[in-house]
Amino acid sequence: MATTQARRLSTADARRGEVLATAARVFAARGYYGTSTTEVAKGAGISQSYLYRLFPDKETLFVAVVEDCSRLIREHLAEAAVGVGSAEPEAVLDAMALAYAHLIADRDDLLRVLMHANCAASEPAIGEAVQTLYARLVEYVRSASGAPDGPVQEFFARGFLCNVAVSIGATEVDAPWTRTLLAGIRHF
C-alpha cells in the first residue's frame, strides 16, 4: 500500500514539474493576462480539470512558475559563487553576473516570465511572489558575495538593464543608443 502511495505522489510531482515547464513557455509567450489555463493544459497534454487538481487557479499556477524561476536563478547564482574560487566580493559578484547573463540568454522563457511577472505584480498574490523572488535573491547575493549594499544594488541594476536589453533585442542592434546601454554589460 505504501509503495502505491509513493508511486502516485512521485508521478504527480513529476507531472507538476512538467506542467510548470509548459506553463512557463505559455506564459512567456503571452503573459499572465493573455494566457488561459486551457492553453496551458493543452500544451501540457492534460485536461483542464487535471490542471486544476494540480493548481487551483491561474494565479496560483503563475505564482508557482515565478517561484520556479526564482529557484532556477538562485541555483545558477549559487553554482557561480561556489565555482569562482575567490572570496573577494567583486569576484563573486562578477561570476554571478556572468552566470545570470548566460541564464537569460539560454532560457528565453525565464526572462520573459520575469518581465511579465513584473507587469502583473499589481495582482496581490503575484506581487507578493515577485517581491519574495527579489527579496530572496538580494539576500542571497549579499550573503554569498559578502558585498555591501552599493555593489549589490549595482549588481541588480545591471541585471535589470540586461533583462530589458535582451528582451527588446538591443543586443542585436548596432546603434549609438545600444552601444550606450550595453557598455560594460555582459550579454550573450
Q: How many CB atoms lie within 10 A of CB 131?
A: 11
* Count helices and strands in the chain by DSSP H and E runs: 9, 0
Q: What is the pLDDT of residues 151-177, one digit of tens each?
A: 999 999 999 999 999 989 998 999 999
The per-residue pLDDT for range 79-123, each reduced to its tens digit, is: 999 999 899 999 999 999 999 999 998 778 999 999 999 999 999
